[in-house]
Chain A
Amino acid sequence: MKRRVTGGSALDRGRAVRFHFDGREMTGCRGDTLASALLANNVRLMGRSFKYHRPRGVLTAGSEEPNALVELKRDGTFHPNIRATLQELHSGLEARVQNCWPSVRHDVMAVNDLFAPFLSAGFYYKTFMWPRAFWERLYEPVIRRAAGLGRLPRAHDESLHERAFAFCDLLVIGSGPTGLMVALTAGRAGADVILAEEDRQMGGRLLSQAGQIDGQGAEDWVQGVLAELTALPNVRLMPRTSIFGTYDGGVFGALERVGQHLAEPGLAPRECYWRITARRAILASGALERPIAHPGNDRPGVMLLSAVASYWHRWAVDPGRVVVFGNNDHALASAQVLADQGMQIAAYIDPREDVAGDTPFPFHSGGEVVATRGRHGLREVTIRVRGRESRIACDTLALSGGWNPTLALTCHHGARPVWDEAIAAFVPRPGMVPGLEAAGAARGRFSIAACLADGVEAAQAALAELGLKAPDMVLPEAEDSAYALRPLWQVKAKGRAWLDFANDVTTKDVTLAAQEGFASVEHMKRYTTQGMAPDQGKSSNMGALAVLADATGGSIPETGTTTFRPPFVPVSIGALGAGAKGAGFRPERRTTSDAQARAMGAPMIEAGLWYRPSYFPQAGDADWRTACNRETGFVRQTVGVCDVSTLGKIAVQGPDAGRFLDFVYTGTMSRLAVGRVRYGLMLREDGHVMDDGTCARLNEHDYLVTTTTAAAGEVMQHLEFVQQAFCRGWQLRLASVTENWAQMAVAGPLAGEVLGHVLGEVPDLPFMGYCPVQIGAVAGRLFRISFSGEKGYELAVPARFGADLFRHLVALAEGLGGGAYGMEALNVLRIEKGFITHAEIDGRVTAFDLGMQGMMSSKKDFIGRAASQRPGLTGPERMQLVGLRPSDPQAGIAAGASLFQPDAPATAAHVEGHVTSACYSPTLGTWLGLALVVNGRARHGARLRLEDGLRGQRCEVSLCDPVFFDPEGGRMRD
C-alpha cells in the first residue's frame, strides 16, 4: 500500500482485507470503504461518466457520491450502481467499474467526448425527431443501448431483503454534533428515541476533523456520548441506516444495510427497509460541501475538501500533493489543520481578494483554478491570479465552494426552502413537515458549538411537545468560528466546467438551456438531465441553479429549486418489495381438500386468493379436455363431487334479518320459509348487478347468504355499509362464516346414492330446500341446490372435517362410476345451463341485460332500484345475455371474441356484442358460448360473424336462448 499514512480512526490496521477490483487483487484494511481502499491502493479512476464516458474518480466520502458507482458481485451476480463510498470492504469483495468497455482505462465510448459539441443539452430532443419511421427501429434501440448507468443483472435477484416497522417518540436523523446532543437530551428525558446514522460509525463530521470538545478530542467525546446512549434502554442506535423519505403521519422510510457489508451474512438480509413512525423527528443531517464549476473539474483526483479530510482522518489516505481551491473561511481553516497534520498542501487558492493568512503553504487570494491536466488522473492545475496564469503540479485538487444544508427530507411534503444570503444556501423553514424540525448544520448553523447548542434546543422543543420534561444540559465547549464565504458558482474560463458529474452536465449546457427557452428550473432540469442521476444532483443542483440564475439574469431565490422527492438516496426495489415474491407475493387460500386434489394430480388454478383444482387427470388422457369431458360426463350420467367451500357465506341474524335482506336483494327474502333456499340478485346502488347467489333461511332469525367466490369480500363490505349507514338500530348482525364450513357439491343422477352412504338416510328434501344433518357425530348442513343442472346437493361440515368428507365423497362417487370434478367441468356444466358467473356479471350489466328483470320486486325499495329504472339501463339498445352456437359445431370459440353482422367490417364501431364464456359441450357435441349482444333476446336465430383477432378465429354463429340443456329444469328438480 503506497498511499497510507499512519492512524485512520475507522481502520483496524492489523486486519488486512483482500478484495478484487476490475479483476485485480488488492488489499485494504478492516474498516475501509471500497472507495478508501481504492484510494489507498492508488486507484483514482473508478468509473466513466454517463454521456461522454469521461474518466471519473471519487468526489465525496459519503452517500452523495456522483462518480464512484461500481458493480458489486453479490449472490452470484453483479449489482450496478453501488456507491464505493458507502460500500464497506469485506474479504472476497468483488467489484468492477461500470459504463465502460473494454476497460475503464480504454473505453471505446469515450469517443463520445470528441463529439461533445454535438451532444449538448437537448441533443436527443433535437436529433431523434425525424424521420418518424426511425423512432422505433433505429433511434430507440440506439438510445436504449447507450442509456442508463450500469447494467441490470439478467438473473433474478436472489438477495434476501427484509421489511420492518419501528415506532418511537423521537427520531433523530444524523449523529453529528447536533444529532448526538438531541439524542442525549431526549434520552436523558426518558423519551423513546431512535438515532439513525447512515455511516457505519456514529459521530458525523466529528469523525473527520481534529478539534476539541469539552477539552477532549472530538472522537473521544463522541465515544463518551455513545457509551451513555448505548446504556440507555430507551435509546435505539441504528447505524448504517439512511432515512430516505418523509411521509404523512410521521412516517419515515429508512434503509438499513444489514448484511451488505459482510462477506458471509448467512441468512441475514442484505438490506432492511424500515418504516419508522415517529411522534416527533429532528433532522440533524448536517450539510454537504459543494464543488466549484471550473474547467476540467471532473478529472480523477479532483475531490471535495471535506472528502480529502475524511479520507485522511478516518482512513489514513494520503492524497499526495494537494491544491485547495476554496471560497470560504472553513476551507482555509481546514487546509491549515491538514497541513499541521502533515498533509502536503501545495497551494491554497481563494477567489476572495480580501483574505489573507499566515499559512505554511503558498496562499493565492484573488485566484481561480482555470484548467487541469492528467489523462486518467490529475497531474497539474493551472491557476489564474489577478490575470496571471501559472501551473502547479499536484495529485489532488480539493474543492470547497461552501456548504448546503442537507434539507431534502424537509421538502418531501412539497414545501420550499428559503434562501439564506449569509451562507449563500437554501435553508429549511420551520414546519415544512409536521412534526419534523431541522437543527444544526441542516438549518445553516455551521460551527460545532452552534450545532451542540441547537441540538439541545431542538430536543427541548420536541420534548415539550411530547409532554416530557427536558433535563438540564450543560453545553460542552467547542469551536465556534464564524463562517464567511463569497459565492463562486463557476469559473469563467475556456473549457468545459462540470456541474453534474454523473450525468455530464456542464455550465454551458445550463446556459444553452436558458438560451433555448428552458429558463424555468424544472424545464432546465429535464432539458439537460441535471440532477437526474442516482445522486439526484446532491452536489450539483445548487451550482446549476446559480448558473441558470446568472444566465437568465434573475436571482437564485427567484430561480427557485427543483422539487425534492423521496427517496433521498437510492433504494433497491428488492428492499421495498422485501418478502413479496414467491409464496410471499400474496396470501394463498387453500381449501380443506387442497392436499388431496394436488395428490390426485390436479393442476390448481387461482380464483382470487383461492386455489382450486382445474381438472383431475388420469393416465392416458390426451389433454385437459379429455379430463374435462370425462368429469362433465360423470355429473350428467352418474355423480360428481366438487369442493365449493370458496363461495362466500355470510350469516345474517336477528329479528330484522329478513327485512334487511329484502333491502339488499332485488327479490323478497323475508317471506322465504324456514328450510328453503332462494336464488337472489344484489345490485349496486347505480343499478348494475353486484353479485348473485343463494339465500337460505336456516331459522326464523337466521339466514345464510352465499356469494360468488370472487365477490365474497366485496359483498360483505357492502352489506356492512348498508347495515351501518341505512339500518341503524335494526335488530340485525352479520358474520362471515365462509371459513368455518367446508362445503361439497354432490351432483348427478346418483347424488342421492352417495349421500345415502354418508348420511345413512337421505332426507326428503325438495329442490331449493335445506335441512340440518348428522354425519355420525358431526353436525352438518344439507342444501339441495344445483349449479350443474343435475340433481344436486351441497353438504357442509365444520372445516376440520372437510378433508375427510371430500375423501369419502370422491371414493363413493368413484365407486358409482363418477368422481371428483374440477373448475373446467364446472364451467362446462354451468354454460350448458346458461348459469352466469362474473364473466357475465362484469360490472356493466343490469338485471334487465341478464333477462332477470322479473326478479326485481316492485313492491319495496332495495339497493339499486331507483337507478336500475333510469333510461338507458333497460331497452333494446342494451347488450343482453344470449346463447351462441357455431354453425359448424366443431368451430372452436373463446371468451373475448367480438360479434359482427356477417358483412360488417371488423372494427370497433361495428361490434354488436362479445362472447363472455365459451366451452366445448360433450353433452351436446358442440361448442357453446354465452354472449352479450345488442338487443340479443329479440334476435334469437340471427346469424352473426364471430371474430377473435387475438387467436385468429372467425366463424358464423347463431343466437339462441342461453339455456342450452334441459331448459325446463326437470333434471335438477325431481
Chain B
Amino acid sequence: MYLPCPCCGWRDMREFTCIGAADYCDRPEADAPPEAWDNYLHLRDNPAGPARDLWYHAPCGTWLEVARDTVTHAVTGSTAVEEAG
C-alpha cells in the first residue's frame, strides 16, 4: 500500500503511522461544552466508503489527511494538515 505524502509523494505504507479519523484536527474551543469535547475525543463514524484519516509521515515530519475508501481501498488524495481548511 502506498500513500501520497504532500511533501514526498507516494511512499510505502511502512513510513506512515495512522492516528485515526481526521476529526482529531477539529479541536473545540477551550470553553466549549463537555458534549463538544466528548464528541471530539471519543465519538467517531465508522464509514463504509469514503473516509478521511489522519496519518503521520515520520521521515519528513508531515501530518496529513488522507482521503481513501474503506471499501475499495482506493486512496484518492491527501492534504497536509498545516494547509488543510
Contact = CB atoms under 8 A, between A and B. Distances in A.
Chains A and B touch (C-beta atoms under 8 A apart): yes
A685 interface: yes
Contacts of A865: 30
B1 interface: yes
B37 A870 contact: yes
A247 interface: yes
Given A717-B17, A720-B63, A728 B2 contact: no
A717 B56 contact: yes
B25 interface: yes
A721 B74 contact: no
A356 interface: no
B73 A413 contact: yes
A725 B32 contact: no
A890 interface: no
Contacts of B30: 861, 865-866
Contact of B81 (A277, A685, A725): A725
Interface in B14-69: 17, 19, 24-25, 27-28, 30, 32, 34, 37, 40-41, 56, 58, 61-63
A102 B41 CA distance: 64
B73 A685 contact: no
Nearest to A413: B73
A717 B58 contact: yes
Given A725-B27, A866-B28, A685 B41 contact: yes
B56 A249 contact: no
Contacts of B41: 685-686, 867
Contacts of A237: none
Interface string A946-973: 0000000000000000000000000000
B70 to A, nearest CB: 12
Contacts of B74: 434
A248 B63 contact: no
A734 B61 CA distance: 10
Interface in A198-249: 247-249
Given A434-B74, A685-B41, A721 B82 contact: no
Nearest to A716: B61
B9 to A, nearest CB: 13
Nearest to B34: A870
A249 B2 contact: yes
A902 to B, nearest CB: 39
A731 interface: no
Contact of A248 (B24, B32, B40, B73): B73
Interface in A250-279: 250-251, 277
Nearest to A735: B61
A762 to B, nearest CB: 38
A65 to B, nearest CB: 32
A585 to B, nearest CB: 16
Contacts of A250: 2
A724 B1 contact: no
A866 B63 contact: no
Nearest to B82: A724
A135 interface: no
A250 B63 CA distance: 24
Contact of B32 (A685, A686, A866): A866
Size class of the A contact interface (CB-based, 8 Å): 20 to 34
Given A248-B73, A251-B1, A685-B41, A724 B27 contact: no
A134 interface: no
A249 B63 contact: no
Contacts of B27: 685, 725-726
A873 to B, nearest CB: 12
Nearest to B58: A717
A289 to B, nearest CB: 34
A9 B6 CA distance: 54
Given A720-B61, A720-B63, A866 B73 contact: no
Contacts of A717: 17, 56, 58
Contacts of B32: 866
Nearest to A870: B34
Contacts, number: 52
A724 B63 contact: yes
Contacts of A249: 1-2, 13, 75
B43 to A, nearest CB: 13
Interface string A691-721: 0000000000000000000000000010011
B37 A724 contact: no
Interface string A716-749: 0100110111101000000000000000000000
Contacts of B73: 248, 413
Contact of B1 (A247, A721, A723): A247
A721 B63 contact: yes
Nearest to B28: A866
B2 A724 contact: no
B75 A724 contact: no
Nearest to A865: B30
A249 B80 CA distance: 21
Nearest to B33: A866
A733 to B, nearest CB: 11
Interface in A273-313: 277
A717 B64 CA distance: 12
Contacts of A867: 37, 41
A724 B80 CA distance: 8
Most buried by B among A434, A720, A728, A866: A866
Nearest to B72: A434
Nearest to A863: B27
A413 B71 CA distance: 10
B5 to A, nearest CB: 13
B37 A866 contact: yes
A725 B63 CA distance: 8
Nearest to A247: B1
B81 A724 contact: yes
B20 to A, nearest CB: 12
B58 A721 contact: no
A717 B24 CA distance: 14
Nearest to B62: A724
A843 to B, nearest CB: 15
A434 B2 CA distance: 14
Contacts of A247: 1
A725 B25 CA distance: 6
Contacts of A723: 82
Contacts of A866: 28, 30, 32, 37
Interface string A439-472: 0000000000000000000000000000000000
Nearest to B27: A726
A728 B32 CA distance: 21
B41 to A, nearest CB: 5
Contact of A721 (B2, B37, B40, B81): B81
A511 B73 CA distance: 38
Nearest to B73: A248
Nearest to A727: B82
Contacts of A725: 24-25, 27, 63, 81-82
Nearest to A734: B61
A865 B13 CA distance: 33
Nearest to A434: B74
A213 to B, nearest CB: 39
Given A728-B82, A870-B37, A721 B28 contact: no
A443 to B, nearest CB: 22
A250 B1 CA distance: 8
A248 B81 contact: no
Contacts of A728: 82
Interface of B: 1-2, 13, 17, 19, 24-25, 27-28, 30, 32, 34, 37, 40-41, 56, 58, 61-63, 73-75, 80-82
**7 smallest beta-carbon distances between A and B, as pairs:** A861-B30, A248-B1, A249-B2, A724-B82, A724-B63, A724-B81, A249-B1
11 contacts: A247-B1, A249-B2, A249-B13, A413-B73, A685-B27, A725-B24, A861-B30, A865-B30, A866-B28, A866-B30, A870-B37
Given A720-B56, A725-B82, A870-B37, 11 more contacts: A247-B1, A685-B41, A717-B17, A717-B58, A720-B63, A721-B63, A721-B81, A724-B63, A724-B82, A725-B24, A866-B32
